[in-house]
Structure 1
Amino acid sequence: MNVVAKPEAAKSEAVKSEAARAESSEGTVRLAIEGPVARLTFDRPSARNAMTWRMYEELADACRVISATREVRVAVLRGAGGKAFIAGTDIEQFRAFSSGGDGIAYEEKVEHYVGTLEALAVPTVAVVEGWAVGGGMALANACDFRLATPGARFGVPIARTLGNCLSASNVQRLVATLGVSTVKRMLLLAETPKAEELPPGYVTVVPPEELDARVAELCARLVSHAPITLRVTKEMLRRLAHDPDAADADLVRETYGSADFREGVEAFLGKRPPAWRGE
């Protein structure tokens, strides 16, 4: 039996179909909040999750939702398809560039998105399967923790691909986490080292069959810790990355004046687990 949809229903289905096609070509960033854990999925597996402007905007939107959701204590970022975290920015978008001014505008936009992720108040975990290069490297690097499967590749091989450059702020971020020698090998030699070859502590390599369990374990550990302490510490580290003499009085006052601090003291003296409220 053929069912003919009413005009309104047919129009609705056409709009949904068009939206699905746009999503398929431009990709999307999906946000799912499960209790204290927010999960962001970069979903464009046909292009190894290369970021379009739509995806960057959705990432920023997701960060705003996470920041406004009091219950969230940790955010996990992962690429769809199991073949890549993010394979850079969609190169098709560079075809519209006609001058150096376009490069300035582009780097400023990337800085905004990376900075938005970096400034999230909750701890962030990048789960890397396959490639984290270019913009993907910048986003994974902006996270607080990285878990990767064996052989996962990290880097910014622009010296042998596009011939562009990074902004000073993004180079500084890489140097702060990887050290200048590794960054020189990534940028000047265009190397994309495996996870196992990166400096100790930068990434935890996990067998594929154990990855989900290790992610859950790390999230549970972070969720169990004092949220104000984590948030204030993240903000102190962010400030110090830009200014070694950064002010901290507001953060210290907020922490020591919190109900959580009083709860921590009483719990410790009472020899019981603290019940953190984030207040």
Structure 2
Amino acid sequence: MNLATKPEAAPSENASSAASEGRVRLSIEGAIARITFDRPAARNAMTWRMYEELAQACRSIAASPAIRVAVLRGAGGKAFVAGTDIDQFRAFSSGNDGIAYEEKVEEFVGTLEALSIPTIAVVEGWAVGGGMALANACDFRLATPGARFGVPIARTLGNCLSASNVQRLIATLGLDLVRRMLLLAEMPKAEEMPAGYVSVVPPEDIDTRLDELCTRIIGNAPITLRVTKEIIRRLAHNPNAPDADLVRETYGSADFREGVDAFLAKRPPEWRGE
């Protein structure tokens, strides 16, 4: 997927070779993992280093069973991620470079998408190109009023998306909106996105709403959440995807037995993820 783009109101913000390479930072607070895209001077435009650090953060989260939810957010409060740093494309010399890039970024987005815990994107400002792909790969999105989503490559770089990533967008947004985003280079506001795709929250309330959402997720059965995410992932690629392994794992778990006992005893269940 070619994730490069340039926000219409910030023509030089993610193309500056003078900007630092940025960082993707991971912090863990109890059951919550927080991934921060930290390059605010460039609207958090992704460098190769940042993509690699995102993948490493996802691997660390996947290896930590105590983590129940992951929050992704851009530093600075003005952008989630404003695409891939365009300056990096100067090194491309042929279409084969584009194929290699698409394959590599597919790996990064796929790693995020494959996390077995629920993920939340907090979008303040721009979620463009790469930011759109990453936010779209999350399970939930919170956004401040006026936040913009899109992939306006038809009027910026003149490149294209891979078929697999167009399919990802269609699966979540619908064909008509994806056509408008890609063929007309539209950048809808959060308030204009399809119902259920994003929750629009006033800036002063977004941290409270985020905490409430994290608390609700953490209180749910972790095996049920993980298995459900995997079923959804499989169905996106195969409408007849097998599920016997997942059903067997869930119904054979100690958590399922705890859930039944707690329900019959009229007490809250104590989930252990086992």
Report if TM-score (shorter chain) is over 0.5.
Answer: yes
Alignment equivalent of 2:72, drawn from 69, 73, 77: 77
* 2:82 pairs with 1:87: yes
* 2:30 pairs with 1:29: no
Find the counterpart in structure 2 of residue 8 from structure 1.
Answer: none
Find the counterpart in structure 2 of residue 21 from structure 1.
Answer: none
* 2:262 pairs with 1:245: no
Alignment equivalent of 1:148, drawn from 117, 126, 143: 143
Instruction: Give CA-to-partner distance per residue, 1:102-134, whole Å, 9 cap, x none.
Output: 110011011000000000000000000000000
SS of alignment partner, residue 278 of structure 1: coil
Structure number with greater CO (CA < 8 Å, separation at least 6) is 2
Q: Letter of the aligned partner of 1:98 in structure 2?
A: S
Distance 1:60 1:169 in 2: 19
Distance 2:213 2:164 in 1: 29
Distance 1:143 1:95 in 2: 30
Alignment equivalent of 1:203, drawn from 191, 198, 201: 198
Find the counterpart in structure 2 of residue 185 from structure 1.
Answer: 180
Q: Letter of the aligned partner of 1:65 in structure 2?
A: S
Find the counterpart in structure 2 of residue 48 from structure 1.
Answer: 43
Distance 2:100 2:261 in 1: 52
SS of alignment partner, residue 34 of structure 2: strand
SS of alignment partner, residue 150 of structure 1: coil
Find the counterpart in structure 1 of residue 110 from structure 2.
Answer: 115
Find the counterpart in structure 1 of residue 16 from structure 2.
Answer: none
Distance 2:139 2:96 in 1: 32
SS of alignment partner, residue 232 of structure 2: helix
Find the counterpart in structure 2 of residue 164 from structure 1.
Answer: 159
Distance 1:247 1:103 in 2: 34
Cα RMSD of the aligned pairs, angstroms, is 0.9
* 2:139 pairs with 1:138: no
Distance 2:200 2:115 in 1: 24
Distance 2:272 2:164 in 1: 35
SS of alignment partner, residue 176 of structure 1: helix
Distance 1:56 1:95 in 2: 18
Distance 2:79 2:65 in 1: 30
Find the counterpart in structure 2 of residue 99 from structure 1.
Answer: 94
Alignment equivalent of 1:256, drawn from 205, 228, 251: 251
Misfit runs of 4+, over 6 Å? none
Deviation of 1:169 (Å): 1.0
Q: Letter of the aligned partner of 1:167 in structure 2?
A: S
Deviation of 1:70 (Å): 1.1
Deviation of 1:233 (Å): 0.2
Find the counterpart in structure 1 of residue 220 from structure 2.
Answer: 225
The size of the alignment, in residue pairs, is 257
Instruction: Give CA-to-partner distance per residue, 1:153-180, whole Å, 9 cap, x none.
Output: 0000000000111111111110000000
Q: Letter of the aligned partner of 1:126 in structure 2?
A: A
Q: Letter of the aligned partner of 2:248 in structure 1?
A: R
Q: Letter of the aligned partner of 1:185 in structure 2?
A: R
Deviation of 1:56 (Å): 0.3
Distance 2:134 2:149 in 1: 11
Find the counterpart in structure 2 of residue 194 from structure 1.
Answer: 189
SS of alignment partner, residue 26 of structure 1: coil
- Percent sequence identity over matched residues? 81
